[in-house]
A and B are shown apart, each in its own frame.
Chain A
Amino acid sequence: MTEDRDGYLKPLPTVTHEDREFWAAAREHRFVLPKCQSCGHVWFPPYASCPACLSFDRGWTEASGRGTVWGFTIMRQPYIGSFEPELPYNVVLVELEEGPMVYSNLVGIDNAAIACGLPVEAVFEDATDEITLIKFRPV
């Protein structure tokens, strides 16, 4: 991934057999979540097996992209060098309509206006030719 970053300097995911389909969908600006074909549970991150019933019969479901902000933090410390120019930046924990929790960033809002319970929807941000990040904006 490091050889073709298209000038993108921040960390990128290490794609594996478990989440290749998730990232392939994101590249097409679709948000998909793993769904158990056995018990119907929807989970994240895309482990190969269902954490609810341990079935390995995994399918995918289109996520609505909607959710609410459970919690947030404004990062002030330069832990990750490539994020330093963006300090202070927000990180949010979003509770998806389908249940799973995801980390992301909120775009299109001042950090000072971020609040728990804020309804948000997914937006797609192409980082490289291969990787598209799912972020959120206020509805």
Chain B
Amino acid sequence: MSDREFAGKTAIVGIGGSDFAGLYRTPDPERTGEALATEAIAAAIADAGLEKSQIDGLITGGLPHYEPVAYRSGLTDVRFVVDYPQAGRMCAMALMHAATAVHHGLADYVVLFNSVVFRTQGTKFGAQPQGLLYDTIYGMASPGAQYSMGFTRYQAEYGGTEEQLGAIPVAIRSHARMTPGAIMQQEMTIDDYLASRYIAEPLRLFDYCLVNDGAAAYVVTTAERARDLAHPPVLIAGTSGRANFREWYVDLGFWDEACRSMKADLFDPLGVTTEDIDCLQVYDNFSVSVLWGLEGFGFAPKGQGLEWVQNGRIALGGELPINTSGGMLSESYLQGWNQHAEAVRQLRGQAGERQIPDCDWSLYWCLSALPGASLLCRDGLL
């Protein structure tokens, strides 16, 4: 959904999330995914200044089923319900679905959430029983190993060093240190990055996102209704998806085509360019994902992304800050959901010491088997 008519007709009006750091410091196995989801939902509804009884749509992510959450949160009479499968790639898709639903009157106020208990469950993201390409018989295990293969290929085609790649996690960590509730608060220098152990060489521990518990929720409604609510509306300018199903996962062109397609969907109808984008809040499952998106969306010249991210360009105060609350590398692995929450804070002007001056446009992407992207902006720009 990215046509001119739809752009800006819907908005995110409420955000809520759990205390990622607290839960990481003191894991609480008795706080189930459903309990965490309910906390996030309650917070998002309160943030929007709505009553629970006004919520008539529910989109679930991360949990097996909407029903237990509906009971707990008292959303037992909603008229629009969707379950999304447990997968990080679904954040922009769920947002697209919520926006479409309110735009067409399937619901007035949709609450959507993602809730994960990866840490409590001991999720390893390692070996599948048998991957599509007989992965495990060759010892191939984990998404990170797939992105690592992509990075060896990228280096062969374009050059670049591991030290250059480290600029991405280092910048994102500096943002987490300014974010209350972000899990990783220790300072990280490039030397700390280079000293971290390899997981699937050439990718290191600090190229990998966190594994934690937590939940995040948003409330979406029409822009018209949004203007009567508690905060300045954050408009959904567009969302886009472009499947890239390959048995080996990492696109052979580093998702270039998918990025170009999603960029055309999001930018062209509005006349938006990369110059207009004030911050990126993107899916940093692995540091290299940020690199490839920067090139695919045309922020950095093809093959020069590693040079492009040096010297503070992507840190707060730089030309294009990325993942200003610490992303999934350092704030919380909420699978894109914490990124959209931070985009909302930035576009409302509520990001505190992290606030980007005159923040008008924020872009999200997720490069996976099902790439997705979304473009959010302040009210009054569409």
Contact = CB atoms under 8 A, between A and B. Distances in A.
A44 B198 CA distance: 30
Among the interface residues A91, A103, A117, which one has the most CB atoms of the partner chain B within 10 A? Answer: A103
Contacts of A133: 137-138
A105 interface: yes
Contacts of A70: 149, 153, 252
B149 A93 contact: yes
A73 B138 contact: no
Nearest to A70: B153
Interface in A63-80: 70-77, 79-80
B250 to A, nearest CB: 8
B256 interface: no
B187 to A, nearest CB: 25
B77 to A, nearest CB: 43
A105 B200 contact: no
A115 B156 contact: yes
A83 interface: yes
Contact of A91 (B126, B138, B157, B197): B138
B149 A91 contact: yes
A88 B200 CA distance: 9
Interface residues of B, number: 38
Contacts of B149: 70-73, 91-93
B244 to A, nearest CB: 14
B256 to A, nearest CB: 16
Give chain A's interface residue range (CB within 8 Å of chain B). Answer: 20 to 34
Nearest to A87: B139
B139 A71 contact: no
B124 interface: yes
Interface string B102-143: 000000000000000000000010110011111111111110
Contact of A102 (B133, B250, B252): B133
Among the interface residues A76, A101, A104, which one has the most CB atoms of the partner chain B within 10 A? Answer: A76
A3 interface: no
A45 B152 contact: no
Contacts of A103: 131, 133-135, 138, 140, 248
B152 A73 contact: yes
A80 B156 contact: no
A105 B138 CA distance: 6
B150 interface: yes
A13 interface: yes
A10 interface: yes
B199 interface: yes
A109 to B, nearest CB: 14
Interface in A110-139: 115-117, 133, 135
Contact of B136 (A80, A86, A116): A80
Given A73-B202, A80-B127, A103-B133, 12 more contacts: A10-B137, A71-B150, A71-B151, A73-B145, A76-B199, A80-B126, A91-B138, A102-B133, A104-B138, A105-B138, A116-B153, A135-B138
20 contacts: A11-B127, A11-B137, A12-B137, A13-B134, A44-B133, A70-B153, A73-B145, A73-B152, A73-B200, A74-B201, A74-B202, A76-B201, A79-B126, A80-B126, A89-B139, A101-B246, A101-B247, A103-B134, A115-B156, A116-B157
Interface of B: 124, 126-127, 130-142, 145, 148-153, 155-157, 197-203, 246-248, 250, 252
Interface of A: 10-14, 44-45, 70-77, 79-80, 83, 86, 88-89, 91-93, 101-105, 115-117, 133, 135
